[in-house]
Amino acid sequence: MGALRPVGRTLLRDTAYAAIRDAIVCGELPPGEPVRDADLAGRLGLSRAPVRDALARLAEEGLVETKPQSYTRVTRLDPRAVREAAVVVRAMHELAARTGVPLLGADDVSAMREANDRFLRATRSGEVGEALRADDDLHDVLVRACGNRAVAATIARFTPLLRRLEWRRFAEAGALESAARHERLIDACAAGDADEAAGITATIWHSLEALADDPGSAPVPGEQADTAPVPGERAGGGQDDVP
């Protein structure tokens, strides 16, 4: 089932944001796809107001681009933006590990091991979305433990840019190597070695910077960013004019 499906009625703005973000990350809404708040609201079973709020937030985060009175669409893949985001995310996760490890309990370490088990199972069965969710769950243990809301907000802000490229470039061999690094990270956390955990974390996230530099991750023909309206889009077609 796709990410764009009817959602519950609580926290509608956040729910709409998460659903549209996930659809962009997994490619259900591909690069360059025009988006209309009315269409998305219908697919999600929501009113247009929370969808508009979600699109505004996604525009701030670089997943949607809007030209007033012309179009709103999914941004093209931009390796430079991914590389810049990867540097920031790596630094935040490294800080989370360095400050969070001394605060971990046995349950936290167990949660990391369980998440890595799910990551491995999903990798072997080719479930990319589940693998990336498990990866997020594993690292989020340290993010929560560190208790720094600015770190958590920055990671949440920039990680979707990375996941979008990872989804397209996901490979079992690389994922299995990530699982082995996770094990070393978990062992360092269990031992209370914050410096070792921070170093391993930096290595894990540095690999995404390399992914952005990989020629194979460059935009496919037609995905270069531009400012021309999408063919067939009327003025103001990205978001309907009627409130």
The predicted-structure confidence for 102-136, as pLDDT tens digits, reads as follows 999 999 999 999 999 999 999 999 899 999 999 99
DSSP letter, residue 34: B
Q: Dihedral angle at the C-alpha atoms of 164, 111, 206, 149, nearest 10 degrees?
A: 80
Distance separating alpha carbons of residues 201 and 98, to the nearest angstrom: 9
Q: Which helix (H) or strand (E) holds 64?
A: strand 64-67
Number of Cβ within 10 Å of residue 101's Cβ equals 26
**pLDDT at 11 exceeding the cut of 80:** no
Model confidence, pTM? 0.78
- Cα–Cα dist 24/18, whole Å: 10
Mean pLDDT along residues 34-55: 92
Cα end-to-end distance, the chain, whole Å: 30
Secondary structure class of 73 (helix, strand, coil): strand
Taken in order 189, 194, 196, 198, the sign of the CA dihedral is: positive
Average pLDDT over residues 29-56: 92
Residue 204 near residue 185 (C-beta atoms within 8 A): yes
Q: Tens digits of per-residue pLDDT, 138-186?
A: 999 999 999 999 999 999 999 999 898 888 877 766 788 889 999 999 9
